[in-house]
Amino acid sequence: MSKIFEEIKQKVAEAEADVAKFVSGNNAAGGRVRKAMQELKDLAQNLRKEVLEIKNSRTGK
């Protein structure tokens, strides 16, 4: 689980520069931000599934 969380933190850090560029008016950076956010969404969904699986295994379900 911590591997996925580390990937999420890394992806956010990588996207930070592109967010700043987009705010400054660089529209190409906006596309990169959107791509990064989609990847984050997928990573977050995987993390949610993994947390649920671990939780259920602890409660015996």
Domain positions in the chain are: 2-59
Q: Is the pLDDT of residue 40 over 80?
A: yes
For the chain, counts of helices (H) and of strands (E): 2, 0
**Quick check: 29 and 21 in contact, CB under 8 A?**
yes
Task: Give the separation between CA 3 and CA 37, rounded to whole angstroms.
Answer: 18
Backbone angles phi, psi at 9, to 5 degrees: -60, -40
Confidence of residue 60 (pLDDT cuts 50, 70, 90): confident
Contact assessment for residue 4 and residue 51, using Cβ atoms and an 8 Å cutoff: no
Q: How many percent of the chain have pLDDT more than 90?
A: 92
